[in-house]
């Protein structure tokens, strides 16, 4: 069984470059289906979710190969709109292929997605939007079958600014007949990234990054070379690791623009942070101040993907902190593992109360989802003695090589196969 071994209580110092963004790259890879040609995607992270998306693209007839740090996708020979169940069950974000395949082939057959077990995350918003765009939706034996004589633009109002639903609607609308308006659209940086990619390939999308996105359907998209942005959650994870262990680190390849809410919290903890267009410098004493109240919210609010990591840091704060999880009810499943370090955490519904303790002790823990696994690594870096973390697969879904990066900052960490 593979595991990660950590010897804690070492300050982090040095410099690390931030990988390409998981949450930006995956919808862009889905969007390559609409190009009907060649896409060269630079700065693409070599993570498990990308490898799973590659397998899906190959299974539906695309040609995919690496050129150093770039991924080349040729979708000209796409020959089926049925997405293999085995890969969909591994990765929830595979659901965004629905919009792309509807736009390209006017049909899609796919199973309900898998991935991290952090909450129900239903896809009702996706399917309802498709139906409003002249798509017939049938559900049978766990399969979702969508067909259309042609996607037609419409006004779509989202009751909640779902990232996945916003992406799926955009992908279905790019080659549609007429104009589509998404009201209460998600505003995450990854939405803006997807729209930048599509516009560079010939789409007509306006208002990305705002609550109202408008898409005018076009006849085709052309081949394109595009460079993905750096991963804000990976950067946030490494900032949290330094906040919890102490030291001074430089993160390169990313600025603070998409991390303002997190950086505000880190400064309240006592960290010193400086940033420029493509770097962030953090210095920490390693014993954070408590944060009276954090509430996870859609962007630009505090990101749910950073909640578990910040909770690990607060486990050694000099007082009591409170977190309210508003996005995914299953995020707190990681707490039972964090408590093994000797943490004092009390859960009441969607509220977590964390009372800082003087020290943590290394132990054996099990990752059960991506960001929670990263949070357990942070706890291990802060703890006395050795920590062994099992199920590193979950972490490798989104972090190219977290052991390499943290070791580069001076951590005593290694992956054992």
Residues 106, 150 within the same domain: yes
What is the set of active-site residues?
116
Residues 180, 241 within the same domain: no
pLDDT per residue over 124-182, tens digit each? 899 999 999 999 999 888 889 999 999 999 999 999 999 999 999 999 999 999 999 99
The domain boundary, picked from 227, 247, 268, lies at 227
The number of residues in the chain equals 417
Cα–Cα distance measured from residue 385 to residue 90, given in angstroms and rounded to the nearest whole number = 34
- Which CATH number does the domain housing residue 165 bear? 3.65.10.10
Tokens of 109: 């057959």
Residues 249, 372 within the same domain: yes
Residues 206, 247 within the same domain: no
pLDDT per residue over 64-93, tens digit each? 999 999 999 999 999 999 998 888 877 777
Residues 294, 258 within the same domain: yes
For the chain, the average pLDDT equals 95
Cα–Cα distance measured from residue 166 to residue 60, given in angstroms and rounded to the nearest whole number = 24
- Please state the pTM of the whole predicted model: 0.96
Q: Which residues contact 53 (CB under 8 A, 6 or more apart)?
A: 26, 29, 30, 91, 93, 94
pLDDT per residue over 352-399, tens digit each? 999 999 999 999 999 999 999 999 999 999 999 999 999 999 999 999
Predicted pLDDT of residue 87: 81
Residues 9, 42 within the same domain: no
pLDDT per residue over 285-307, tens digit each? 989 999 999 999 999 999 999 99
Task: Residue 192: give the domain boundaries.
Answer: 22-227
pLDDT per residue over 192-215, tens digit each? 999 999 999 999 999 999 999 999
pLDDT per residue over 1-58, tens digit each? 899 999 999 999 999 999 999 999 999 999 999 998 999 999 999 999 999 999 999 9
> What is the separation of C-alpha 102 from the centre of its chain, rounded to a whole number of angstroms?
24
Residues 238, 367 within the same domain: yes
Cα–Cα distance measured from residue 303 to residue 264, given in angstroms and rounded to the nearest whole number = 12
Residues 328, 396 within the same domain: yes
Residues 321, 245 within the same domain: yes
Residues 337, 304 within the same domain: yes
Cα–Cα distance measured from residue 207 to residue 99, given in angstroms and rounded to the nearest whole number = 19
69: helix, coil or strand?
A: coil
The domain boundary, picked from 195, 227, 259, lies at 227
pLDDT confidence tier of residue 114, bands split at 50, 70 and 90: low
Residues 305, 362 within the same domain: yes
The domain boundary, picked from 208, 227, 246, lies at 227
Number of compact structural domains in the chain: 2
Residues 104, 205 within the same domain: yes
Q: What is the CB neighbour count within 10 angstroms for residue 417?
A: 6
């Amino acid at each position: 069984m593979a595991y990660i071994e950590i010897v804690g209580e070492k300050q982090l110092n040095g410099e690390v470059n931030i990988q390409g963004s998981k949450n930006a790259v995956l919808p862009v890879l889905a969007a390559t289906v609409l190009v009907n040609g060649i896409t060269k995607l630079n700065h693409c992270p070599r993570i498990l979710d990308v490898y799973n998306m590659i397998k899906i693209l190959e299974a539906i007839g695309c040609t995919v190969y690496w050129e150093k740090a770039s991924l080349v996708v040729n979708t000209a020979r796409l020959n089926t709109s049925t997405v293999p169940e085995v890969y969909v069950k591994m990765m929830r974000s595979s659901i965004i292929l629905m919009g792309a395949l509807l736009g390209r082939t006017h049909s899609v057959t796919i199973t309900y997605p898998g991935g991290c077990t952090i909450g129900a995350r239903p896809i009702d918003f996706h399917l309802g939007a498709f139906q409003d765009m002249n798509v017939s939706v049938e559900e049978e034996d766990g399969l979702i079958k969508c067909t259309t004589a042609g996607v037609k633009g419409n006004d779509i109002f989202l009751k909640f600014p779902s990232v996945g639903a916003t992406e799926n609607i955009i992908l279905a609308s790019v080659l549609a007949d007429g104009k589509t308006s998404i009201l209460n659209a998600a505003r995450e940086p990854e939405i803006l990234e997807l729209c930048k990619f599509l516009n560079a390939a010939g789409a007509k999308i306006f208002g990305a990054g705002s609550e109202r996105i408008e898409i005018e359907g076009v006849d085709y998209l052309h081949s394109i070379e595009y460079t993905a942005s750096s991963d804000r959650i990976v950067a946030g994870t490494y900032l949290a690791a330094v906040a919890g262990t102490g030291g001074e680190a430089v993160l390169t390849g990313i600025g603070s623009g998409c991390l303002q809410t997190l950086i505000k919290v880190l400064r309240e903890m006592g960290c010193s942070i400086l940033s420029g267009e493509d770097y962030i410098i953090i210095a920490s004493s390693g014993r954070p101040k408590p944060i009276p109240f954090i509430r996870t919210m859609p962007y630009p609010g505090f990101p749910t993907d950073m909640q578990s990591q910040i909770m690990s840091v607060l486990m050694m704060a000099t007082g009591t902190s409170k977190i309210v999880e508003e996005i995914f009810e299953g995020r707190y499943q990681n707490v039972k593992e964090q408590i093994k370090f000797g943490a004092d955490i009390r859960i009441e519904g969607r509220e977590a109360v964390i009372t800082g303790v003087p020290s943590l002790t290394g132990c054996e823990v099990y990752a059960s989802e991506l960001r929670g696994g990263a949070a357990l690594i942070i706890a291990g870096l802060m703890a006395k003695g050795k920590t062994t973390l099992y199920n590193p697969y979950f972490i490798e879904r989104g972090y190219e090589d977290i052991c390499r990066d943290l070791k580069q900052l001076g951590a005593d960490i290694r992956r054992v196969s």
